[in-house]
A and B are shown apart, each in its own frame.
Chain A
Amino acid sequence: DGGITQSPKYLFRKEGQNVTLSCEQNLNHDAMYWYRQDPGQGLRLIYYSQIVNDFQKGDIAEGYSVSREKKESFPLTVTSAQKNPTAFYLCASSTGLAGVNNEQFFGPGTRLTVL
């Protein structure tokens, strides 16, 4: 069953702690993305990666970090430097080739609440 998995579905952390969100895909996609969804603001791009061992900042990368050591995995770390981390985080993937018509597929999301 191909798709994107994110874990956990709900995550609670204390202020000041770093937390890592998992994203795994078995679609053999080259590109992966992390978005943050806040009410009334749509989805905003945090980081993206077009190939293993390479990634670029999106529009709101401050306070976040990522790694791409394997094609199928793209974990996101929300650091204590992120001023407003409570949000719904969505991971996506695509074939990723620039200039090629393709679409992004989304995971189920992780809702992070910082107490």
Chain B
Amino acid sequence: AQSVSQHNHHVILSEAASLELGCNYSYGGTVNLFWYVQYPGQHLQLLLKYFSGDPLVKGIKGFEAEFIKSKFSFNLRKPSVQWSDTAEYFCAVRLYNQGGKLIFGQGTELSVKP
């Protein structure tokens, strides 16, 4: 069965530290890749997405992610986190021929200390 794995369940960083959250998926076909963020008390919202083309994609709020097809990975990065980045982050994969279904990772809770 297809699955998405996020390596870290809870990450604690100080402000200005660099962030990298891992995401790996198990599916050999064409995929679309997403990172969603859920700030405390808010909607789940899209951070960035990869459909095709340049494997390095930039999203909102200074986040970026790199699609490495050979490693089935789509890691999220930010060079310098802020306290306002405290949230839960979800990686998701859409299988291209399965009607738009998203498969989500378990989520990573990020806590940024001021």
What chain B residues lie within 8 Å of A90 (beta carbons)?
44
Count chain A CB atoms within 10 A of each CB in B49, B98, B102, B107 and give the residue with the most.
B102
A104 at the interface (CB under 8 A from B): yes
**Residues of A in contact with B (beta carbons under 8 Å apart):** 31, 33, 35, 40-45, 48, 50, 56, 58, 90, 94, 96-99, 101-109
CB distance from B50 to the nearest CB of A (A): 10
What chain B residues lie within 8 Å of A109 (beta carbons)?
43-44
> Known pairs A43-B104, A99-B96. 11 more at Cβ < 8 A?
A31-B99, A33-B100, A33-B102, A42-B106, A45-B102, A48-B101, A56-B99, A98-B98, A104-B102, A106-B44, A109-B44
Q: How far is the CA of A104 from the CA of B105 in the complex (A)?
A: 16
What chain B residues lie within 8 Å of A94 (beta carbons)?
100
**Residues of B in contact with A (beta carbons under 8 Å apart):** 4, 6, 9, 32, 34, 36, 42-46, 49, 51-52, 90, 92, 96-107
What chain A residues lie within 8 Å of B101 (beta carbons)?
33, 45, 48, 58
Q: How far is the CA of A69 from the CA of B12 in the complex (A)?
A: 46
What chain B residues lie within 8 Å of A45 (beta carbons)?
101-103
Closest chain B residue, CB of each to CB of A99: B96
Q: How far is the CA of A108 from the CA of B43 in the complex (A)?
A: 5
What chain A residues lie within 8 Å of B45 (beta carbons)?
106
Q: Take A42-B106, A56-B99, A98-B97 as given contacts and tell me if A103 and B34 are in contact as well, using a CB distance cutoff of 8 Å.
A: yes
Out of A31, A43, A103, which one reaches B90, CB within 8 Å?
Answer: A43
Contact A44 B104 (CB under 8 A): yes
What chain B residues lie within 8 Å of A104 (beta carbons)?
100, 102
Contact A40 B44 (CB under 8 A): no
Out of A35, A97, A101, which one reaches B32, CB within 8 Å?
Answer: A101
Contact A40 B96 (CB under 8 A): no
